Copies of this chain bind each other. A is one copy, B any other.
Amino acid sequence: MDKALKFTITHTLKNTLARVGIIETPHGIINTPAFMVGGTKATVKTLTPEHVKELGGQTILANTYHLMLRPGADVIAAAGGIHKFMNWDGPTITDSGGFQAFSLGMAYKKGIDITSGSEKGDSSTAVHSSSQLAKISDDGVNFSSHIDGKKIFMTPESSMELQHQIGADIHVAFDELTSPLATREYIQKAMNRTHAWADRSLKRHKELNDEHIKKGENLQALFGVVQGAREEDLRKESSTYLGSRDFDGYGIGGVFGPTEISTVLGWVNNILPVDKPRHLLGMGSQPADLFLGVEYGIDTFDCVAPTRQARNGALFTYSGRLNIRNGAFKMDFSPVDEGCDCYTCKNYTRAYIHHLFRSSEILGLTLASIHNERFVVRTVDCIRNSIINNDFFNYKREFLEAYYGKDDAQKFLG
A interface, CB within 8 angstroms of B? 41-48, 70-72, 75, 78-79, 85-87, 330-331, 333, 347-349, 351-352, 354-356, 358-359, 361-363, 365-366
Contacts and interface: CB of A to CB of B under 8 A. Distances in A.
A352 B47 contact: no
A78 B330 CA distance: 11
Contacts of A365: 362
A333 B78 contact: yes
A52 to B, nearest CB: 11
A151 to B, nearest CB: 21
29 contacts: A42-B355, A43-B356, A43-B359, A43-B361, A43-B363, A44-B363, A45-B362, A45-B363, A46-B363, A47-B363, A48-B363, A71-B330, A71-B359, A72-B330, A75-B330, A75-B331, A75-B351, A75-B355, A78-B331, A78-B333, A79-B333, A79-B351, A79-B352, A85-B351, A85-B352, A86-B352, A87-B347, A362-B362, A362-B365
Nearest to A365: B362
Contacts of A356: 43
Contacts of A333: 78-79
A72 B352 CA distance: 11
A39 B355 CA distance: 14
Given A71-B330, A87-B347, A347-B87, A359 B79 contact: no
Nearest to A71: B355
Contacts of A41: 355, 359, 361
A351 B70 CA distance: 11
